[in-house]
Amino acid sequence: MLVLASSSPRRLDLLARIGVIPDRMQPTEVDETPLKTEQPRALAIRLAADKAMAGAALMPDSLVLAADTVVALGRRILGKPADEAEAARFLGLLSGRRHRVMTAVCLAQPGGPRTARLVTTILAFQRLTQAQIEDHVASGEWRGVAGGYQIQKRAEMYVRFLSGSHSNVVGLPLFETTQLLRGAGWLRP
């Protein structure tokens, strides 16, 4: 049985693109607060592993797939905005600048190993006007997503540069996820 340790509709949609329908979605409760001095890369890897292990503890006989996405501007981690003011601040920080989106994917096998991959995508927004920031915040698309934007929605019109995996920015790098599932024997080569 394949369990997705998430309640993210974006991850479920991405898996469906590659023909993967999890048998169950099992959200896990993991504290996503970065540790003191924790770098964005390490945070993504730690959170994905913690989510996979929490899912495996709940469903020990299942293959558990978990992921975590971190938006980083230099060493600064831009998490899920708490409110409209923070969403506007994040967009102001990202305006006209390159940033990184890192997603760690972790697969826990029943009674077996845990494997993980980290994918980094670099992207840049155009310089945003105050009106664009206000419009984006008013849309509500910033809620519950790292960095305060969803590239698969209206924020994509602001992307002037992208190097790497688009699906990674949405929340699940499909190539690496496919490779993990094939390696575990869940998908045919």
Catalytic positions: 68
Structure tokens at 176: 């690496």
Question: What whole-number distance in Å separates Cα of residue 65 and Cα of residue 116?
Answer: 10
- The CA-based angle 56-61-66, given to 5 degrees, is 35
Q: Where are the alpha helices (DSSP H) in the chain?
A: 9-17, 40-58, 84-94, 130-139, 166-170, 174-183
Residues in the chain: 189
